[in-house]
Copies of this chain bind each other. A is one copy, B any other.
């Protein structure tokens, strides 16, 4: 692509053709649209995940989504936009999950297990795992996307975690180091995401156990004596 300098902004989607006065369509038009868009996103995730963004072919994405190649361009400006929409759309909902933690006030022991469980069920066992990996893996070449992710997701997660940890630290329940570096909490989760697909075939990793052990260690055992 002799290419422009990025393209900024959001997706310029087909405006889904108002459902019609007398109900021409049995299936609402915007459901079809959503379906096609979703099919493309799903297919893209699979192709991007297995081949990497650069090596993934839109031909394969289209085939896997069951649409023609040109159809992709009805929903996404270009390959970059498709990638960014995939990441945005998948990771944005994470905000809510973690924001929910903000005002939690359960005991550390239970909280550790709760966070571990959230990670496993809300990320590791879902599509989001692959999207997180893609975000981290390809993010350097999508500065706008990295910024979005930091501003909309990461900084809020960190903020919520900090608030939670600060209160616990004030009560002497956790090390103040965690307030400074909340990244410590999720680090093994990130490692687990990469471990799978690289080394799982040599040495499988029990992610739930790993996360629980880790969180017990830093949240519970780590409390001041």
Contact = CB atoms under 8 A, between A and B. Distances in A.
Contact of A210 (B154, B181, B190, B192): B181
Contact of A54 (B55, B151, B154, B198): B55
Interface in A79-121: 79-80
Interface stretch (A1-9, A27-35, A38-46): A1-9
Contact of A214 (B53, B181, B210): B181
Interface residues of A, number: 61
Copies of this chain: 4
Interface of A is mostly: helix
Interface string A108-147: 0000000000000000000000000000111111000011
Interface in A155-201: 155, 158, 175, 177-178, 180-181, 183-184, 186-188, 190-192, 194-195, 197-199
B222 A52 contact: no
A59 interface: no
Contact of A1 (B2, B140, B147, B195): B2
A216 B177 contact: yes
6 contacts: A2-B4, A52-B53, A54-B55, A155-B202, A180-B213, A225-B225
5 closest A-B pairs by beta carbon, nearest first, are: A54-B54, A187-B187, A2-B3, A177-B213, A1-B2
